[in-house]
Amino acid sequence: MTATRIILGFLLAPLATVVVQFLREGMGPSLGLVLMYAYIFGLPLGIPAFIALWKLKWLQLWQVILFSVVLGLIVAVLAAPTHITLANPYLVKELGFYVLHSTAVGFLFWLVALCRCHV
């Protein structure tokens, strides 16, 4: 784990949302919006979360992904408060997409910044 890899992790990990969104809907205007939200919410929430995980020594893959999912659900409430309500019949489906996006981001961050599996 080096500072360069951590910075690269923060810069590259939000791009995973574009891949998930593309697989979900194909090319469309939502790709740019998803990427914008990934950086706007991801960096201010992700950097303090990483520092907390680092201080607690919780840097295993499952811990990073779990924390990423929690942050993804927070982003869901902040980014789309009108959609994330109990009155929404598609609530579980929408939350599932946020979980999928945040899992991909957490995995990519771990792979780039923390994994000791590459040179």
Which domain, by its residues, includes 46? Answer: 3-114
Per-residue pLDDT at 97: 87
Rounded mean pLDDT, 63-86: 86
Rounded mean pLDDT, 99-113: 95
Residue 96 in any domain: the answer is yes
Residue 48 has pLDDT above 80, yes or no: yes
> What percent of the chain clears pLDDT 70, i.e. is strictly above it?
98
Per-residue pLDDT at 70: 94
b/e 79-93 (16+ beta carbons within 10 angstroms → b)? beeeebeeeeeeeee
Please tell me the pTM assigned to this model.
0.88
Please state the separation of Cα 108 from the chain's center in Å: 9
Question: Which band of pLDDT confidence, cut at 50, 70 and 90, is reported for residue 118?
Answer: low
Residue 107 in any domain: the answer is yes
Number of domains in the chain: 1
Residue 119 in any domain: the answer is no
Residue 62 in any domain: the answer is yes
The tokens for 11 are 């810069």
The tokens for 102 are 């945040």
Per-residue CA distances from 105 to 14, 68, 85, 88, 112 (Å): 6, 7, 24, 26, 11
Residue 3 has pLDDT above 80, yes or no: yes
